[in-house]
Amino acid sequence: MEKKSTIKLLLLLCISATCFALASCKKNGTGVIPTPNRSVSPLPPDSALTWIKLNAPNDTITVLEEFNNIIYTASNSNTLYTSADEGATWATFKVGTPDVSISAISVFNGRIYLGTSNNGIFWSTNGGKTWVNYLAGFQDVNPFGNLVGYPVTSFAVHNNVLYASTQGNGVYMLNQASDNWSAFNNNLPQIITSYDVFKILNTNNTLVAAGGVNGTFYYYDFTAGQWVGTLIPKRGSFINEMIIDNGSIYGATTERKIIRSNDNGITWNYDALDLQQVGNALSQHPTLYTGSSKDYVLTIPQGAAGTWIQQRDRNSAIGTSWANNQQFLGGIHANAILESNQRLFLGTDEGLYLENANP
């Protein structure tokens, strides 16, 4: 009797696992659950010496952006740096108190907006000389009476409206006339996991949000006035970084895979050739970036002190390898990458590095 019960239990577990897989993954035309490719290879030779370290800014760089031919870079020590001459010289601006860690940058209608990991949003109307801080909705008191900040993870502009995503409190929309931010969580499930929005993007005709930690994704239906949920291929994983390229959305997931959607996140597929890896090479928070001719991904291989840069040609067919002209930078922990005027800027814990972009 005990043996039969054990066999029955095993059969039930197998059936449950199969049903879970069928419900969590998208089928191809033959009804077979697609298995993602995983290319394993040794790390490329150390190419850190091909990068030039700039003398300034000498800081932990967390964000890199470019707006109107001005490069904006920020640190985790309440400092914004700007350069109007491709990094030759930098202006320095202090933002708030020393505990302010800048996590996102946008320039919108002549103002600089800075999202932070613990102090809401700052904005400046005079190029960074003075700052206004907005906290409502971006901080709260937890049940233990402690003040908790909701990190601002990204900005996006759609139809001349600025939006901000947060980890823990969903999406916010700016009313620039009143300088107020209001929640934009219409139909976003009111559970803390769905309010973890790691990135929002403006696509051709809507906003999309990498939100939730259980295989969920959202696009905004402006006609219906609400967020609509979809599923990524693997339930239990989530997208923590994404870019848009030629109408396709590419997302890096905690499954340590690159997935792709060609219809604003309604359906998803594994990007065929994906990344090369050494063990669990894709870090929990990879960096994806769209340059003028190439897409880049930065990962931190486990057990290796350094940053692995892989890339794909934007003109290549979808599913093309991300491992072209890959580099490994030993001893350098990179957080952000930016292409400007055929040069690559790399924001790291050790400051800014520079290299000529591949032709």
The secondary structure of 265-278 as a DSSP string is: TSS-EE-SS--EES
Distance between CA 117 and CA 173 in Å, rounded?
18
Q: What is the pLDDT of residue 262?
A: 93
Q: What is the pLDDT of residue 39?
A: 55
Q: What is the pLDDT of residue 38?
A: 52
Chain centroid to Cα 129, Å, comes to: 29
Handedness of CA 139, 142, 145, 151 (dihedral sign): negative
**pLDDT, tens digit only, all 359 positions of the chain:** 433 333 333 333 333 333 333 333 333 433 333 445 555 567 888 888 899 999 999 999 999 999 999 999 999 999 999 999 999 999 999 999 999 999 999 999 999 999 999 899 999 999 999 999 999 889 887 778 777 789 999 999 999 999 999 999 999 999 999 999 999 999 998 776 789 999 999 998 899 999 998 899 999 999 999 999 999 999 889 998 999 998 999 999 988 889 999 999 999 999 988 887 765 555 557 899 999 999 999 988 877 789 999 999 999 888 888 888 899 999 999 999 999 998 999 999 999 999 987 64
> For 270-283, how does the pLDDT look when each residue is reduced to its tens digit (9 = 90+)?
998 888 776 555 55
Nearest 5°: phi and psi at 204?
A: -60, -35
Q: What is the pLDDT of residue 92?
A: 97
> For 203-267, where are the E strands, in sequence order?
207-211, 216-221, 226-231, 239-245, 248-253, 258-261
Q: What is the pLDDT of residue 148?
A: 78
Q: What is the pLDDT of residue 25?
A: 39
Could you tell me if 187 and 227 are in contact, meaning their C-beta atoms sit under 8 angstroms apart? yes
Q: What is the pLDDT of residue 192?
A: 66
Distance between CA 154 and CA 200 in Å, rounded?
6
> For 95-142, how does the pLDDT look when each residue is reduced to its tens digit (9 = 90+)?
999 999 999 999 999 999 999 998 999 999 999 999 999 998 898 877
Alpha-helix residue ranges (DSSP H) falling in the chain: 2-24
Distance between CA 359 and CA 355 in Å, rounded?
12
Q: What is the pLDDT of residue 283?
A: 56
Distance between CA 158 and CA 137 in Å, rounded?
21
